[in-house]
Amino acid sequence: MQKYMGKNLKILTDGILKNNPTFVLVLGMCPTLATTTSAANGMGMGVATLFVLVMSNIVISLLKNVIPDKVRIPAYIVVISSFVTVVQLLMQAYVQDLYNTLGVFIPLIVVNCIILGRAEAFASKNGVWASALDGLGVGLGFTLSLTIIGIVREVLGNGQIFGLDIWQGGGALIFVLSPGAFFVLGYLMVVFRKLTTKTN
């Protein structure tokens, strides 16, 4: 039992640290750069992706013996885009503001390489429980990275965190615009590298 728990925990933490999709694997860059204008937006995008990731991992893992090998990629894409449509409709119904801010990037979760990558590399080879955990781990890693980038950009750009003022007078607007996204991600990647090589 102890060993079993350890294995599951490892699947979960690998997605957050060792295989962090943003800082280590450098996957899913478009939503990372485009939607992290504030902490809340980044987190919203992360949670939407997390949902799609867990659900599609579960379904693909269940269907892994049914899907013929030759058409597996189109089949995965259909599964993923179905869940993306579900998320899109749910967000439109319940979180209209976030839906409007994220805009075209919600349907674009379909082409987020993290999701197809996990389907191909993990869910198509492992059981349902492990696949769900893997989706959760990678999804949490993605959400965490997006939230951190969002916080840094919001603080530097607007002087706020989650919409609460830290200091008066705002900040350098450039960090909320697209060049700021490149800078913040680039420097955060350096910091992440530094921290993870130290612990090893």
Partner 1 sequence: MEIFAIIIGSIFANNVVLSQSLGICPFLGVSNKVNTAAGMGAAVTFVMAISSLVVYLLQYYVLVPLGIEYMQTIVFILVIAALVQMVEIVLKKISPSLYQALGIFLPLITTNCAVLGVALLLVQKEYNMLESVVYATSIALGFALALVIMAGLRERLELTGVPKGVKGVPIALITAGILAMAFMGFSGLV
Binding-site member from 71, 166, 177, 195 for partner 1 (CB under 8 A): 177
- 115-121: long-range contacts (C-beta < 8 A, 24 or more apart)? 115/49, 115/52, 115/53, 115/56, 115/80, 116/73, 116/76, 116/77, 116/80, 117/25, 117/27, 118/53, 118/57, 119/56, 119/57, 119/60, 119/76, 119/79, 119/80, 120/72, 120/73, 120/76
- Binding status of residue 71 toward partner 1 by CB under 8 A: no
- Binding status of residue 196 toward partner 1 by CB under 8 A: no
- Binding status of residue 11 toward partner 1 by CB under 8 A: no
- Binding status of residue 194 toward partner 1 by CB under 8 A: yes
Binding-site member from 8, 85, 101, 126 for partner 1 (CB under 8 A): 85
* Token reading at 197: 């090589």
Site string for partner 1, 92-131 (x = CB under 8 A): ------------x--xx-xxxx--x---------------
Contact 56, 80 (CB under 8 A): yes
Q: Which residues bind partner 1 (CB under 8 A)?
A: 26-27, 29-30, 33-34, 74, 77-78, 81-82, 84-85, 88-89, 104, 107-108, 110-113, 116, 174, 177-183, 185-187, 189-190, 193-194
